[in-house]
Amino acid sequence: MCGIFACHCHPDVQKFKSTALKMGKAVRHRGPDWSGNWIANSTILVHERLSIVGVDSGAQPLVNDDETISLAVNGEIYNHRILRKTLKTPYNFKTHSDCEVIIPLYLEYDLDTPRHLDGMFSWVLHDKKQDRVIAARDPIGITTFYLGRSSKTPGAVYFASELKCLHPVCDDIISFPPGHIYDSKTDKLTRYFDPKWLTNPTTIPTKPVDYKELRTTFENSVRKRLMAEVPYGVLLSGGLDSSLVASIAQRETLRMNGEAKKRQAATNGAANGYEADGHAAGHLVGIDDSNQLATVQVLPQLNSFSIGLPGAPDAKAAEEVAKFLGTKHHTFTFTIEDGLNALSDVIFHLESFDVTTIRASTPMFLLSRKIKALGVKMVLSGEGSDEIFGGYLYFHNAPDKAAFHQETIRRVQNLHLADCLRANKSTSAWGVEARVPFLDKKFLEVAMNIDPADKMITKDRIEKYILRKAFDTTDEPETPAYLPDNILWRQKEQFSDGVGYGWIDALKDTAAENVTDEMMKNPKPEWGDDIPDSKEAYWYRCMFDEHFPSYCASTVMRWTPTWSKQTDPSGRAISIHAQKYETAKD
């Protein structure tokens, strides 16, 4: 991930430059590799770079030949090579960056530019001739992005990757809506991502599940996210979603290594660890026209990472998966004290006071620091599957398929305020990029158009049955198993539970020590109607207030289960869980 800050139509942009650079510095953790800025007319773009693709030449902001178009991007454009070849007008590319293609796309397609992009992204582009800014965010909001305004500069509009570099200069901030584009000509946000499953939620799909299509589409999704020129790995909790991602990534790594070795043998290898195209051996370089990895490098052994309290359910399962797949696995442990000590920092980086987000983010935050220390800059992760397939345990209570389908849509729409925010900010806090294959546009189109009757949980079907079935090769003797059966068919374990049941218990107990009954009866007046419903929630909100002004709270969403009287978001609190909260004390 990278960090961006931008301001358009500032009354004194030269004077504002020093402040803008400070705001960019506030998100330097997202992009520790390089800093850049660009001023044109009354607009400034500031960029903090994490180099993953085009490492040697992709410094930003990117600018075209006549310096009329400037661009700052956070994210990855997986189809950039295909887009470069399909441009109607030749364009002089200055870098190998996957993001530079946005400039010629804008010159050809204007506001339709993001419709052509396959990836995760937030970007701000300035057109000097028109003195126009357009900004866009990826369809689901995998990358975090905010838009702000200030009563002190009423004509200006601000953009940033995180709240922490907006609230010092803005007093009105919103989360930039996913799948939208902003145009300063009209000063409006317009939806560009408009698939029928999203825009017509009352139309219930009737297409039966095609298991082969589901499997193939997801494999392609993982494959394209291996586009990198730096060491990468997979986050492996031992649950279904991350295990499938790891399995496919490992298969692709082994396949590419085999092909690369054959090519090397044919050309007598390369000297000093470098290949004929000049890229360092051991790194991927991209995707070809058929969505296949295109590289001649031998990849290093795939790294997988897990974290938990000693004896955590997920850590044990992750080790079993890693052994089965043959990844180079790293199991890290943390203590409850480690987690409690990190809470304030976690909330500062998350910019949220949502209970379930904080519970799950703390172990991920600690793990990301360990991953960065090992020299890994990009990881694949399993977010999104539970929203798409109704994998949370409360989906057992869905009354009918229409309600089930509409709840999956609601969850997908809110991912940018929940699991995507967690994955993005927990990893970006340490300069690590998380990629999420389940939220691929093509995969979403397939998965969200399946008849929800096939997704529903019944006495004969465990949660996410169709995803499990798609990767069950029992009836395919010539196809190696993707996962051990006990992992493929393992019950859902939410990450904050899976890292060790004692973690949530400790958070509740510590919150009770810090928040009195009297405090609960007298919430802060500035909270308005947004009153915490538990001591744990109250505690987190107080920590949030230490970092951010009260108006930032409007960007936060509370995660709660539907069809349940239980307000605690822990999976163990749902009655169907094999080890309910009441009986799970360690």
Per residue in 298-357, pLDDT tens? Answer: 456 899 999 999 888 888 899 999 999 999 999 999 999 999 999 999 999 999 999 999
Distance, in Å, from the CA atom of 392 to the CA atom of 583, rounded to the nearest integer, reads 20
pTM of structure? 0.92
Quote the pLDDT of residue 584.
32
Q: Reply yes or no on whether the pLDDT at 257 is more than 90.
A: no
Quote the pLDDT of residue 280.
34
Residue 130 contacts residue 515 (beta carbons within 8 Å): no
Q: Which fold has domain 212-335+357-498?
A: Rossmann fold (3.40.50)
Average pLDDT over residues 92-117: 97
In sequence order, what are the beta bridge partners of 440? Answer: none
Cite the DSSP H helix spans in 374-418.
Answer: 385-389, 401-413
307 marked as part of a ligand binding site: yes
Whether the ω angle into residue 61 lies within 30 degrees of 0, i.e. cis, is: yes
Residue 256 contacts residue 206 (beta carbons within 8 Å): no
Going by C-alpha positions, the residue among 494, 553, 451 that lies closest to residue 205 is 451
235 marked as part of a ligand binding site: yes
> Residue 328 carries which side chain, given as an amino acid letter?
K
What residue spans define the domains of the chain?
3-194, 212-335+357-498
391 pLDDT tier (thresholds 50, 70, 90): very high
Q: Of residues 2, 9, 420, 552, which has the active-site annotation?
A: 2
Quote the pLDDT of residue 259.
78
568 marked as part of a ligand binding site: no
| From 72-76, 107-111, 276-280, 531-535, the region with the lowest mean pLDDT | 276-280
502 marked as part of a ligand binding site: no
Q: Reply yes or no on whether the pLDDT at 513 is more than 90.
A: yes
Average pLDDT over residues 237-241: 93
Quote the pLDDT of residue 299.
53
Quote the pLDDT of residue 296.
36
Quote the pLDDT of residue 443.
98
Quote the pLDDT of residue 249.
97
How much is the mean pLDDT over the chain?
A: 91
Quote the pLDDT of residue 565.
80
| From 143-157, 280-294, 423-437, the region with the lowest mean pLDDT | 280-294
Residue 552 a catalytic site member? no
Distance, in Å, from the CA atom of 177 to the CA atom of 184, rounded to the nearest integer, reads 16
Q: Which fold has domain 3-194?
A: Glutamine Phosphoribosylpyrophosphate, subunit 1, domain 1 (3.60.20)
98 marked as part of a ligand binding site: yes
Quote the pLDDT of residue 52.
86
Quote the pLDDT of residue 427.
98
Average pLDDT over residues 36-44: 98
Q: Reply yes or no on whether the pLDDT at 142 is more than 70.
A: yes
